[in-house]
Amino acid sequence: MSKLIDLSVEQGKDYGTGLVKFHHHLNETGLFDDDELAELIDNTPREYYMITHMNVEGRKMIWRNGDFNGLSGAEVLEAIKQGQLWLCLRGIEKFSPEHHEVMEQAFAEVGDVTKHVKTDRSQTHILISSPNASVLYHTDIPLIHHWHVRGKKRFYLWDETDKTVLPDETLEAVILRETEEEIHYDKKWDEFANIIDLEPGISCTWPQNGPHKVDNLDGLNVSVVAEYFTPQAKRKYGVYYANGFLRRYMGMNPTSTKTEGLVAYAKCALAVAVKKLNLTKKQERDMILSFLLDPKNIGDIINLQTKDQKPIMQL
């Protein structure tokens, strides 16, 4: 396989800590053409996909979870092209050896020029979304490496250290999984967002927890997204997890978010213990199935009545 990325050591020096943007050639592999994607969708087990529908209700954007409802991969793809849908195929390493192999090579090439940082990659997902879909303002728990393959999208990124756009208690709630990753957002913040236009062949990663929103601009959008941690990112996760636990369950008011030093290490140990004992589990939110793709009108959805809605099992 020929080289998949154009990234120099100099360009990659902020990998895992800052915004790094470079070119890639995944779109030349053919693995993301319609036929290949349709087959991939056909091969994705129920436990490994999430299809969501976005619509505006009142002044609020609502994001709900659905099911393919027996549609073929080609029909699902067509529904996404015509509808307001966002599909995540979660953990391609489990059901697509071809995509897994090409991403392993791409990440090996990234690793060759970012030897200064130790990364621990967990899952790699493929995102397929409608031409005019949006992803609401949110923050992701791990570091994210985003490879844009098809379509155009506008990515708005904010400074994760700015407590106005990301208060500590909000990040704690996301990390404790009390809330979906969407969080409070004010349109005025767009004025100071870092705006990045993603075209096919652009790859980027940004600081951990950097809040962002995405507006698709044109065409079916296809991206590969990998979650990863560095040792520093794991400590940040542990510190916020422990702070959230102490605030909610122990009546304390932790203010330090330092990820170095004895206190930080003690907090990380506490987070591991709390997670092991499942002490916060009952507060975690469920993912509810509330619509089906419509087999008669491709691109439409069938809303489920409350009595027919049920939790979706995900692995």
Residues engaged in binding Fe ion (CB under 5 A): 140
Q: Which is nearer to Fe ion, 93 or 140 (CB)?
A: 140
Q: Which is nearer to Fe ion, 98 or 140 (CB)?
A: 140
Q: Which is nearer to Fe ion, 18 or 261 (CB)?
A: 18
Work out whether strand 49-57 and strand 85-89 pair parallel, antiparallel, or are unpaired.
antiparallel
Q: Which is nearer to Fe ion, 103 or 214 (CB)?
A: 214
- Smallest gap from Cβ 150 to Fe ion, in A, equals 18
- Smallest gap from Cβ 153 to Fe ion, in A, equals 12
Q: Which residues of 259-290 are buried (b: 16+ CB within 10 A; e: fewer)?
A: beeeebeebbebbeebeeeeebeeeeeeeebb
Q: Which is nearer to Fe ion, 101 or 140 (CB)?
A: 140
The C-alpha R_g of the chain, in whole angstroms, comes to: 20
- Smallest gap from Cβ 314 to Fe ion, in A, equals 17
- Smallest gap from Cβ 128 to Fe ion, in A, equals 15
Nearest 10 degrees: Cα torsion 132, 138, 139, 140: -50
Q: Which residues of 212-235 are buried (b: 16+ CB within 10 A; e: fewer)?
A: bbbebeeebbbbbbbbbbbebbbb
Closest CA to 299 of 46, 51, 39: 51
Work out whether strand 310-311 and strand 288-293 pair parallel, antiparallel, or are unpaired.
antiparallel
- Smallest gap from Cβ 138 to Fe ion, in A, equals 6
Closest CA to 247 of 175, 182, 186: 175
